[in-house]
């Protein structure tokens, strides 16, 4: 089973990306599970329809126990028939790398981890990169793929954002997604995650 960990700050539409990835994997004939954070405050608006073949488990967003709860959840998942992919929404207050390390040290069978994904947008440019909150900076530095919604951006803004991310994490791949262009598509992101 391959874990796909998706992190990002509040309001970055993690669930939309997560379920879009899940839908694409289902379309490719994969068995997919997802662990998502309950939206008690409805901070994210889900606009993506979920393929009914995706097995979804909701967890509470309690940062101090999320990792322990996730490892316990993985113990239950490990006893079930194997998923090809398990998509995990990481709470905004936790670095996905920390969650990855905890799960990988759990001794689960046949487990691999896709590149860590951090979702961001143009709001990061509203401050100097040196002034970005530490938790956001840590997550960007740990990410292997930085997913940027490029829909509201012009080329100059996109280039400036790329420079910020490249300064913070030169080894991360920047994935600019736009639903309305010929640029990257969700299928391209799935290719990056599964190759």
The string of DSSP letters for 18-53 reads HHHHHHHHHHTT--EEEEEE--SS--S---SPPPTT
CA distances in angstroms from 171 to 6, 8, 60, 96, 112, listed in the order given: 18, 18, 32, 16, 20
What pLDDT tens digit does each residue of the chain (195 aa) get? 999 999 987 777 889 899 999 999 999 999 999 999 887 544 556 678 898 999 998 888 777 889 999 999 898 888 887 899 999 999 888 888 899 999 999 888 788 999 999 888 766 666 555 556 777 788 888 899 988 877 666 778 778 888 888 888 999 998 888 766 555 588 999 999 998
Give all domains of the chain, ordered by start, each with its CATH number. 2-194 (3.40.50.300)
Give the pLDDT score at 180. 63
In this prediction, residue 123 carries a pLDDT of 65
Cα(188)–Cα(111) distance, rounded to whole angstroms?
23
- Of 93, 158, 91, give the one whose Cα is nearest residue 121: 158
Model pLDDT, residue 44: 55
Both tokens of 47, joined, read: 């606009």
Contacts of 37 (CB under 8 A, 6+ apart): 58, 59, 60, 61, 89, 91
Residues sharing a CB contact under 8 Å with residue 98, sequence separation 6 or more, in sequence order: 67
C-beta of residue 21 within 8 angstroms of C-beta of residue 48: no
Pairing of the two strands 117-120 and 145-149: parallel
pLDDT number for residue 176? 82
């Amino acid at each position: 089973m391959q874990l796909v960990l998706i992190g990002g700050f509040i309001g970055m539409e993690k669930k939309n990306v997560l379920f879009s990835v899940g839908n694409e994997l289902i379309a490719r004939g994969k068995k997919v599970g997802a662990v998502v954070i309950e939206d008690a405050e409805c901070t994210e608006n889900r606009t993506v329809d979920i393929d009914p073949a995706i097995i979804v488990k909701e967890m509470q967003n309690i940062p101090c126990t999320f990792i322990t709860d996730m490892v316990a959840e993985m113990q239950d998942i490990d006893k079930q028939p194997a998923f090809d992919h398990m998509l995990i929404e990481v709470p905004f207050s936790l670095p996905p790398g920390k969650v990855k390390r905890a799960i990988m040290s759990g001794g689960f069978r046949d487990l691999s981890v896709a590149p860590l994904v951090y979702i961001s947008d143009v709001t990061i440019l509203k401050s100097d990169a040196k002034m970005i909150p530490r938790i956001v900076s840590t997550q960007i530095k740990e990410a292997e793929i930085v997913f940027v919604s490029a829909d509201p951006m012009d080329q100059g803004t996109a280039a400036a954002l790329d420079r910020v991310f490249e300064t913070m994490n030169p080894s991360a791949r920047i994935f600019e997604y736009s639903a309305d262009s010929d640029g990257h598509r969700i299928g391209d992101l799935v290719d990056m995650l599964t190759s």
